């Protein structure tokens, strides 16, 4: 696994130099800072707007950074043939793959962490002098959920990258992200369906497609009065789901990549 | 390729089994969690509605995309701005799908449920400002959804409680809502929840429960004041709450003790309810009638002596001392499809049954008046409510028609001996000439005090002039009694969409519910109408334990839509 | 003596898109490379050279047949500690300097970061990239020759026993080519085993002990340099040739230029011709073995003198076709000494 970590470090170093990813990061940070400007257009409490938009921006920027980063990690190595010199060394295929994945996670962690920091600072500034100010650290729960969502998305994109081209991977991953966000809808449809086969197909979709909608945790953070029962359990379950599913996807990715010709 | 991979890596393949099992199990647990039940796609009712502001049905694509990408609350905010604009321009129909969209986008925005329910239950009116009651169940469904999405905070429970109390007048429903708030939110605002709960119990005829609720409110206030770190403002609010709750509890205890005794002593009032319903023209009905609306005369109820705090009773009084015709109790007039019952909607949809006809109005009863021979009255050009000091002496205004009947003389002349002033008359004159301080106890003169006070009055020409003559006080030669009356013409022809009269059979229900009567009326007839009766129209079956005055008039479509005048009911 | 590389009936098939056909990128290949041997693996573009190398490195998988490297199946992780690979036109992470790249690869061998850095410094200097102007340059600014040097540096990190070099001098100028050729000779001198694929046939002639040529996935010819290039004829130049000898030689195609008669004789007849010349008091001007160039063989094989049915080289008669079964066992050992 040391080899994987070497590859991971190298991946982070390379990814942080990619212009397009840095562009998303910069846009995200700037938009978060600019949420102060939008407040005049809404009747909502300004703080609610700053929080809502901030989390939304982190989520959106995180989505694009994750997908664009992960769909290209393996195919680029194959296309540029840098993978030859690596796999010719005593590097197991799974070490290479995991190294790339952990590198992606590290990159995402840095990006989301930076945006999260900008967000927390923005909220803290907005709350100066406000009544009923809440600790901005509470917002880290929302950022954690976004991070878990991106972890799962990264694993999905990595899995597809072991056998699909980046273009196909991009659209497939995005479509599954949208479907995954509609997870409560597929469940409702399945429950209300009268035709057995349709019901089971929808249930299949519901359980097979990663449930990205699980990680929508914005409302309790925006409305201080909303108290989530067993919040720790709720958050832990979400994290466990993300980790378990991502692990399963990476196992599948390792199995596929093991037999892939480069 | 995958098959080959599985075959070459059996151990690794084996790890997939527990992982997949864990994923499915965790997802199944998630699916049962309320937190995750936020629907992801806009509800059908939005898709089918024509939302003029968007030029079509449903949420525009870019809004949907923004909603999916985590900007739900922001979009909700923008939509709320639009709906506010619609409200101010009077376009209430456009607000409905907006409310649906906003509560879908941001189910934890409490203000939208409250304001949305207010729009639905209060702001959809006909030309004469009568509420469109078809929207009441819709508003309640919205509030139920708000409660389901925010079950741990009291706010939406409170909204439902208030709407049940004030608009629907389902006091049992109000009780349930407020109890829900207390059960689910330990930090519920006591003034907004516990106090209305006690009032709701009272209106529902549950007197003991009301008193217990006031007790509970006091304890909650006191517990709040002991919480560490609370601000002075909160402390002060709770201190005021303790005073109010204590006072209200005392009043309830007094009434609980005195009302039955007073009714037993004074007997049952025969309301002698009369009503005539006339169709004056198509879709216009006139409701008029009279009945004996008897209550406790203003400021003459003897509650007793309070402690120095003014809130706790020290010595119980005698209760009702003077009763007579009063104004204020309302007659409910309700015209609806035959057999209509308020539905309970399982989920919120702003579509109402277009075939349903439902009209409700209230008609105030006033004009009841009485004078005994030798008693005082106010000679006025037009009948109306007597001023307070006269009213508290049971001195009524009499218009010229009544004046001709009683054939009275001005008070100065009566004092000079032209007419015999009765004992009651003397008491009335003394009470008006020498009114007691507002905090005096008792608030009225005893009969024993009157001779001396009356003698004083006779020699006090200035007071007679200032306090009596100036007020046109007269003394009657003959007695007079006239019951209170009500009259209203209800025009449903101006709002054909609301009053479509699509069905064939209808029913007109006129009712007086003692539980909605003012305190001074209940002081005479009790919370549940124990102190009144009506030979023709007393109804003690519709609501067990409640003695209502209730008239049901079956009507046909032709009765309502026919042209020309027709008496539909006389009783 | 153990074989460094053993390939037995190796076949790699690829399906043809849109048709129910397969193409054999490698077709029933069998060859052996011994330890300490510099083995040239030649073929035209698309012949199957890189495919074979990739199979040996475990980058792709054979359809059938066996391939062993240093006694273990191709792709074995333990063996990779002892081998290295220089691909054709190697690509590296553009943002890294030469030192960082070599450090990175060194760490992939399990070296600690500090040790890897030291090794990188050493190798970067060795390949001539340690100068001030080059040491901090990212690879994106390197010329092709410089990239090749980086490739060589990374191939020497683990002091490998077996090196796979694929077109190491491709696209380089003459000086760079010479440097790399010298390096290969040095490696040869050190007793390293090298599997060299190259289009620079003069380099192969100079460096390799043995060579093979494959065409359309099939092995066409295999042998030592001498076997492949060594001539069966010798050019003999004589002056004042006695008439009888001159007549005999002329009948066999000798050419007279002035007094000098130039004849091409079979190697085994050289002795008798020299003797006859000495007896006839002729002067022997020169005796030079007639060697073919590898390029000639390459062009012959790849250029079209093939049997249309079998795809194999048509025998020229006087120069029998050399194949695995007739080549001498381990002749390279003697030649390398």
Buried/exposed C162-175: b ≥16 CB within 10 Å, e otherwise:
bbbbbbbbeebeee
Query: How wide is the angle at C-alpha C287 spanned by C-alphas C285 and C289, nearest 5°?
Result: 150
In-domain check, residue C138 = no
Is B39 an interface residue toward A (CB < 8 Å)?
yes
The pLDDT assigned to A220 comes to 65
The pLDDT assigned to B541 comes to 93
* CB contacts, 8 Å: C154 with chain A: 85
Among the listed residues B319, B291, B310, the one whose alpha carbon sits nearest the alpha carbon of residue B487: B291
* CB contacts, 8 Å: A85 with chain C: 85, 87, 90, 92, 105, 151, 154
In-domain check, residue C90 = no
Is A203 an interface residue toward B (CB < 8 Å)?
no
The pLDDT assigned to C232 comes to 67
Is residue C283 located within the same domain as residue C166? no
* DSSP secondary structure, A198-215, as one string: HHHHHHHHHHHS--GGGG
Among the listed residues A143, A70, A148, the one whose alpha carbon sits nearest the alpha carbon of residue A104: A70
A255 vs A248: CA distance, rounded Å = 11
CA distance A185 to chain B (A): 6
* CB contacts, 8 Å: B234 with chain A: none
Closest CA in chain A for residue B83: A43
Kindly report, residue by residue over C313-324, the tens digit of the pLDDT.
Answer: 444 333 334 444
The pLDDT assigned to C316 comes to 39
Arithmetic mean of pLDDT, B123-142? 89
pLDDT of A40 > 60? The answer is no
Suggest the residue from A81, A89, A96 to mutate for an interface test with chain C (most C CBs closer than 10 A). Answer: A89
The pLDDT assigned to C331 comes to 32
Compare CB distances from C77 to A82, A92, A259 and report the shortest one's residue. A92
CA distance C91 to chain A (A): 5
CA distance C208 to chain A (A): 23
Least confident of A71-85, B303-317, C43-57, C309-323: C309-323
Among the listed residues B421, B450, B413, the one whose alpha carbon sits nearest the alpha carbon of residue B433: B450
pLDDT of B288 > 90? The answer is yes
Is B106 an interface residue toward A (CB < 8 Å)?
yes
One-letter-per-residue 3-state SS of B285-303 = EEEEEEECCEEECCCCCEE
Size of interface A-C (CB pairs under 8 A): 68
* CATH code for the domain in which residue C36 is found: 3.40.50.300
* CB contacts, 8 Å: A13 with chain C: 95
* Helix/strand/coil for B485: strand
Structural domain range at position A244: 2-258
Query: Model pTM?
Result: 0.68
Kindly report, residue by residue over A232-254, the tens digit of the pLDDT.
Answer: 888 898 999 999 999 999 999 99
More confident residue, B89 or B17: B17
Kindly report, residue by residue over A187-206, the tens digit of the pLDDT.
Answer: 878 887 888 899 999 888 88
B46 vs B315: CA distance, rounded Å = 62
Is residue C9 located within the same domain as residue C69? yes
Is A19 an interface residue toward C (CB < 8 Å)?
no
Kindly report, residue by residue over C190-223, the tens digit of the pLDDT.
Answer: 899 999 998 778 788 888 888 998 888 888 888 8
CA distance C92 to chain A (A): 6
The pLDDT assigned to B68 comes to 56
* CB contacts, 8 Å: C78 with chain A: 90
Compare CB distances from A181 to B31, B68, B110 and report the shortest one's residue. B68
Kindly report, residue by residue over B527-559, the tens digit of the pLDDT.
Answer: 999 999 999 999 999 988 999 999 999 999 999
Is residue C71 located within the same domain as residue C164? yes
Which residue(s) pair with B538 in the sheet? Answer: B549
pLDDT of B468 > 60? The answer is yes
Domain total of chain C? 2
The pLDDT assigned to C317 comes to 34
Is residue C251 located within the same domain as residue C266? yes
Q: Are A170 and A86 in contact (CB under 8 A)?
A: no
Arithmetic mean of pLDDT, C15-24? 85
Closest CA in chain C for residue A261: C60
B115 vs C137: CA distance, rounded Å = 67
Q: Give the B window 234-273 contacts with A, CB below 8 Å.
A: none
The pLDDT assigned to B64 comes to 58
Domain end call among C269, C289, C309:
C289
Among the listed residues C277, C264, C43, C41, the one whose alpha carbon sits nearest the alpha carbon of residue C163: C41
Domain end call among C227, C250, C273:
C227
C280 vs C113: CA distance, rounded Å = 77
8 Å CB contact of A87 and C107: no
**Cα C315 from chain centroid (whole Å):** 23
Is residue C256 located within the same domain as residue C206? no
In-domain check, residue C215 = yes
CA distance C330 to chain A (A): 28
What does the mean pLDDT of chain C come to? 83
Is A231 an interface residue toward B (CB < 8 Å)?
no
Q: Are B70 and A59 in contact (CB under 8 A)?
A: yes
Among the listed residues B16, B84, C324, the one whose alpha carbon sits nearest the alpha carbon of residue A244: B16
* CB contacts, 8 Å: B110 with chain A: 223, 225
CB within 8 A of B172, min separation 6: which ones? B204
Is residue C73 located within the same domain as residue C181? yes
Is residue C255 located within the same domain as residue C272? yes
Is A41 an interface residue toward B (CB < 8 Å)?
yes
**Cα C115 from chain centroid (whole Å):** 34
Question: Sign of torsion, CA C48 C50 C55 C59?
Answer: negative
B142 vs B138: CA distance, rounded Å = 6
Closest CA in chain A for residue C50: A84
The pLDDT assigned to C231 comes to 61
What does the mean pLDDT of chain B come to? 88
* Helix/strand/coil for C30: strand
Q: How confident is the model at residue B206 (pLDDT cuts 50, 70, 90)?
A: very high
**Cα B555 from chain centroid (whole Å):** 28
**What distance, in Å, lies between the first and last C-alpha atoms of chain A?**
22
Closest CA in chain C for residue A4: C108
The pLDDT assigned to C330 comes to 35
8 Å CB contact of C59 and A82: no
CB within 8 A of A78, min separation 6: which ones? A262
Domain total of chain A? 1
Widest Cα–Cα separation across chain B: 127
Compare CB distances from A84 to C61, C85, C109 and report the shortest one's residue. C85
The pLDDT assigned to B62 comes to 55
Q: Are A141 and A221 in contact (CB under 8 A)?
A: yes
Is residue C199 located within the same domain as residue C258? no
Among the listed residues B163, B158, B175, B102, the one whose alpha carbon sits nearest the alpha carbon of residue B131: B163
Structural domain range at position C166: 3-82+160-227
More confident residue, A243 or A123: A243
Is residue C265 located within the same domain as residue C219? no
CA distance A1 to chain C (A): 10
Scanning the structure block, which residue is given the tokens 């939302």? B51
The pLDDT assigned to A232 comes to 83
Kindly report, residue by residue over B482-492, the tens digit of the pLDDT.
Answer: 999 999 999 99
* Chains contacting A (3+ CB pairs below 8 angstroms): B, C
Q: What is the ipTM of this complex?
A: 0.86
The pLDDT assigned to B338 comes to 93
């Amino acid at each position: 696994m040391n080899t994987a970590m070497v590859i991971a470090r190298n991946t982070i170093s390379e990814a942080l130099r990619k212009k397009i990813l840095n562009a998303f990061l910069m846009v995200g940070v700037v938009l978060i800072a600019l949420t102060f400007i939008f407040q005049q257009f809404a009747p909502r409490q300004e703080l609610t707007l700053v929080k809502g938009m901030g989390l939304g921006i982190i989520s959106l920027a995180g989505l694009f950074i994750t997908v664009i980063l992960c769909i290209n990690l393996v195919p680029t190595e194959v296309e540029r043939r840098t993978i030859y010199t690596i796999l010719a060394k005593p590097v197991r295929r799974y070490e290479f793959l995991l190294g790339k994945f952990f590198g992606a996670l590290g990159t995402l962690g840095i990006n989301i962490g930076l945006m999260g920091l900008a967000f927390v600072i923005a909220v803290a500034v907005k709350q100066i002098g406000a009544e009923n100010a809440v600790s901005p650290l509470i917002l880290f729960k929302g950022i954690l959920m976004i991070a878990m969502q991106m972890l799962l998305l990264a694993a999905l994109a990595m899995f597809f990258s072991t056998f699909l081209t980046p273009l196909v991977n991009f659209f497939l991953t995005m479509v599954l992200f949208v479907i995954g966000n509609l997870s409560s809808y597929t469940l409702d449809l399945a429950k209300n369906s009268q035709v057995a086969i349709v019901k089971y197909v929808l249930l299949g979709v519901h359980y097979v497609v990663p449930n990205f909608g699980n990680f929508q945790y914005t409302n309790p953070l925006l409305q201080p009065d909303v108290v989530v029962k067993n919040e720790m359990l709720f958050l832990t379950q979400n994290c466990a789901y993300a980790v378990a599913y991502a692990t399963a996807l990476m196992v599948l990715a390792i199995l596929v990549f093991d037999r892939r010709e480069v | 390729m995958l098959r080959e991979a599985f075959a070459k890596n059996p151990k690794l393949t084996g790890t997939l089994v527990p992982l997949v099992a864990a994923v499915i199990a965790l997802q199944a647990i998630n699916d049962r969690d309320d937190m995750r039940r936020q629907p992801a796609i806009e509800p059908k009712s939005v898709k089918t509605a024509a939302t003029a502001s968007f030029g079509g049905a449903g949420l525009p694509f870019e809004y949907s995309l923004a909603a999916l990408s985590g900007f739900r609350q922001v979009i909700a905010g923008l939509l709320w701005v639009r709906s506010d604009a619609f409200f101010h321009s009077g376009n209430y129909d456009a607000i409905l799908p907006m409310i649906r969209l906003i509560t879908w986008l941001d189910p934890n925005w409490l203000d939208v449920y409250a304001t949305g329910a207010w729009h639905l239950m209060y702001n959809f009116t006909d030309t004469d400002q009568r509420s469109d009651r078809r929207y009441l169940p819709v508003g309640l469904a919205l509030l139920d959804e708000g409660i389901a999405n925010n079950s741990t905070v009291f706010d939406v429970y409170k909204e439902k409680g208030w709407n049940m109390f004030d608009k629907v007048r389902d006091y049992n429903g109000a009780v349930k809502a407020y109890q829900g708030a207390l059960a689910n939110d330990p930090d519920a605002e006591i003034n907004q929840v516990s106090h209305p709960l006690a009032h709701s119990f009272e209106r529902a005829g549950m007197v003991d429960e009301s008193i217990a609720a006031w007790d509970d409110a006091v304890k909650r206030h006191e517990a709040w004041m002991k919480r560490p770190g609370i601000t002075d403002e909160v402390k002060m609010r709770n201190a005021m709450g303790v005073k109010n709750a204590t006072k209200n509890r005392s009043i309830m205890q007094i009434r609980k003790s005195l009302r039955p005794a007073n009714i037993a002593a004074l007997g049952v009032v025969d309301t002698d309810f009369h009503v005539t319903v006339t169709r004056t023209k198509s879709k216009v009905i006139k409701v008029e009638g009279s009945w004996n609306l008897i209550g406790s005369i203003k400021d003459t109820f003897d509650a007793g002596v309070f402690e120095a705090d003014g809130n706790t009773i020290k010595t119980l009084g005698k209760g009702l001392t003077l009763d007579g015709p009063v104004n204020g109790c309302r007659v409910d007039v309700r015209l609806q499809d035959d057999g209509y019952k308020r539905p309970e909607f399982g989920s919120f949809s702003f579509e109402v049954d277009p075939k349903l006809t439902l009209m409700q109005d209230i008609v105030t009863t006033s004009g009841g008046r009485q004078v005994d021979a030798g008693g005082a009255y106010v000679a006025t050009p037009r009948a109306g409510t007597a001023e307070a000091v006269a009213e508290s002496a049971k001195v009524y205004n009499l218009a010229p028609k009544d004046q001709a009947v009683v054939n009275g003389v001005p008070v100065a002349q009566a004092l000079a001996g032209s007419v015999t002033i009765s004992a009651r008359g003397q008491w009335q004159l003394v009470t008006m000439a020498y009114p007691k301080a507002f905090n005096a106890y008792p608030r009225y003169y005893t009969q024993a005090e009157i001779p001396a006070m009356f003698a004083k009055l006779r020699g006090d020409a200035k007071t007679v002039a200032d306090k009596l003559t100036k007020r046109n006080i007269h003394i009657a030669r003959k007695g007079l009694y006239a019951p209170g009356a009500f009259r209203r013409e209800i025009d449903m022809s101006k709002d054909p969409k609301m009053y479509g009269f699509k069905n064939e059979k209808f029913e007109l229900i006129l009712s007086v519910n003692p539980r909605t009567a003012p305190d001074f009326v209940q002081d005479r007839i009790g919370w549940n109408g124990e102190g009144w009766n009506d030979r023709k129209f007393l109804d003690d079956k519709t609501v067990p334990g409640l003695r209502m005055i209730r008239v049901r008039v079956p009507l046909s479509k032709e009765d309502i839509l026919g042209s020309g005048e027709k008496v539909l009911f006389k009783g | 003596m153990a074989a460094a590389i053993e390939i037995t009936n190796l076949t790699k098939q690829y399906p043809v898109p849109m048709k129910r056909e397969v193409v054999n990128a490698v077709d029933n290949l069998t060859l052996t490379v011994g330890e300490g041997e510099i083995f040239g693996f030649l073929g035209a573009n698309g012949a199957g050279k890189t495919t074979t190398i990739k199979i040996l490195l475990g980058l792709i998988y054979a359809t059938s047949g066996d391939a062993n490297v240093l006694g273990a199946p191709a792709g074995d992780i333990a063996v990779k500690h002892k081998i290295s690979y220089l691909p054709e036109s190697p690509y590296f992470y553009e943002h890294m300097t030469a030192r960082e790249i070599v450090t990175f690869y060194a760490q992939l061998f399990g070296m600690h970061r500090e040790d890897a850095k030291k090794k990188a410094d050493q190798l970067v200097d060795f390949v001539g990239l340690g100068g001030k102007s080059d040491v901090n340059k990212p690879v994106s600014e390197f010329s092709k020759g410089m990239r090749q040097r980086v490739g060589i540096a990374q191939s020497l990190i683990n002091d490998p026993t077996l090196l796979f070099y694929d077109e190491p001098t491709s696209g380089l100028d003459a000086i760079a080519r010479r440097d790399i050729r010298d390096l290969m000779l040095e490696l040869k001198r050190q007793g390293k085993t090298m599997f060299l694929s190259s289009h620079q046939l003069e380099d192969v002639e100079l460096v390799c002990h043995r060579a093979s040529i494959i065409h359309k996935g099939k092995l066409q010819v295999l042998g030592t340099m001498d076997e492949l290039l060594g001539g069966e004829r010798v050019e003999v130049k004589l002056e004042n040739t006695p008439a009888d000898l001159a007549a005999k030689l002329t009948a066999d195609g000798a050419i007279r230029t002035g007094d000098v008669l130039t004849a091409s004789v079979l190697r085994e007849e050289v002795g008798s011709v020299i003797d006859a010349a000495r007896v006839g008091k002729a002067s022997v001007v020169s005796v030079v073995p007639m060697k073919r160039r590898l390029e000639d063989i390459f062009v012959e094989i790849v250029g079209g003198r093939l049997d249309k049915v079998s795809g194999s080289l048509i025998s020229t008669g006087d120069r029998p076709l050399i194949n695995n079964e007739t080549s001498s066992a381990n002749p390279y050992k003697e030649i390398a000494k």
